[in-house]
């Protein structure tokens, strides 16, 4: 019988406490239906912004459907972002592929996502501060769209959106 995590690391639970009736009406803060998002103007504007970014980036090209294609389904993931004081910051949406429907070694070869450990970032910042070097910060919106892939993937078009 295990009574605690073997790593000693537990994920903290997040709770939303607000007195704002507008925010209360948005609960639950996460849902996964594009159809539901299209009915709410805030979510629809957020999803439209994501869709326009995908078009601007040249992420996809609309092609006619062929029954021999292995088409991946998609879903919208939506979340209310709050400021530290609990007030509304923004409505955030993402269009994601349901890649869990794919099979390793058949639909794709490698999966790799390079990330820095927090200790590495702290060491670099410590060296930077001790040498009085300037520190610049960069935040890329839709950074995941900037990677190059060599395979061709077919994904369903999101319902309600038309590629111009």
Q: Which residue has the tokens 């520190």?
A: 135
pLDDT per residue of the chain (164 residues) written in tens, 0 to 9: 555 566 666 666 655 555 555 555 554 445 556 566 667 788 788 888 888 888 787 777 778 888 888 888 887 777 888 888 878 788 888 877 776 655 555 555 556 666 778 899 899 999 999 999 998 887 666 666 566 777 778 888 877 776 65
- Partnered with residue 79 across adjacent β-strands are 30, 92
CA distance 67 to 60: 19
Give the total residue count for the chain: 164
Structure tokens at 13: 């639970």
CA distance 95 to 34: 9
CA distance 87 to 84: 7
Quote the pTM value: 0.54
Judge contact between 76 and 33, C-beta under 8 A: yes
CA distance 30 to 150: 33
């Amino acid at each position: 019988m295990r009574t605690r995590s073997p790593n000693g690391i537990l994920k903290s639970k997040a709770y939303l406490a607000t007195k704002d009736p507008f925010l209360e009406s948005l609960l639950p803060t996460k849902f996964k239906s594009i159809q539901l998002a299209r009915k709410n103007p805030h979510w629809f504007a957020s999803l439209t912004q994501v869709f326009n970014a995908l078009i601007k980036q040249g992420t996809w090209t609309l092609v006619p459907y062929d029954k021999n294609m292995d088409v991946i389904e998609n879903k919208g993931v939506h979340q209310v972002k709050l400021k530290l004081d609990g007030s509304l910051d923004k409505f955030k949406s993402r269009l994601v592929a349901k890649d869990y429907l794919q099979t390793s070694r058949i639909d794709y070869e490698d999966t790799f996502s390079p990330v820095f450990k927090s200790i590495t970032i702290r060491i670099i910042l410590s060296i930077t501060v001790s040498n009085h070097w300037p520190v610049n910060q960069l935040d890329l919106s839709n950074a995941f769209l900037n990677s190059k892939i060599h395979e061709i993937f077919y994904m369903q078009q999101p319902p309600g959106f038309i590629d111009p």
